[in-house]
Amino acid sequence: MKRIYSDSLFSIREAKPNDEMAILGFIQELADYEKEPDAVEVSAQELAKDLFEDNVCSAILLIENTSQRAVGMAVYYVSYSTWKGKCLYLEDFYIQPNYRRKGGGELLFSHLLGIVKAKGYRRMDWQVLEWNEPAIKFYQKIGAALDDGWINGRLHFQKK
């Protein structure tokens, strides 16, 4: 398995087939943290299809501890700004609580910024819940601009 980055504490790699259960676990942990434990509808089978088969819709980086056990993830995809051009959209960014404040989050985020620069994307976008103070402080620490001028819109559809 190809490691993108490795140091004495963490390594980063692209998700691969058979990582679906770990990814689904992180998704559920994040939903629990965001006080939406019943909101997760995606299955491991859907993740496998959407992430690793023909029409891949996003990419996932996993961060692993020294035992090569995944302890966090970054889910992202290419978006398009009519004003700027190609951008990277960070859908989810999650590090398990026991591994926070140990440099892994900064390492993973920095790697995402490297992807943005290497591919020539114009910006990286994401959302953070207004009550998530630890995440807000993390983003402010790395110099991110947090915009309170936009209201999110969303429509939900039932899967057939």
Model pTM?
0.89
What six digits make up the tokens of 2?
């190809």
Amino acid at 27: I
pLDDT at 158 over 80: no
* pLDDT of 3: 65
* Angle, helices 20-33/44-52, rounded to nearest 10 degrees: 110
On whether residue 148 sits in a domain, the answer given is no
Please write the tens of the pLDDT for every residue from 28-82: 999 999 999 999 999 999 999 999 997 788 999 999 998 999 999 999 999 999 9
Is 61 among the domain residues? Answer: yes
Between CA 15 and CA 48 the distance in angstroms is 10
The domain total for the chain is: 1
Catalytic annotation present for 76: no
- Position 18 scores a pLDDT of 95
Strands 124-125 and 70-81: unpaired
* Residue 152 lies inside a defined structural domain of this protein: no
Judge whether 63 lies within some domain: yes
Expressed as residue numbers, the domain containing 30 is 3-141
5, 33, 77, 139: which one is catalytic?
139
Instruction: Report the CATH number at residue 103.
Output: 3.40.630.30
Burial level of 74, CB count in 10 A (0-12/13-18/19+)? buried
Give a yes or no: residue 146 inside a domain.
no
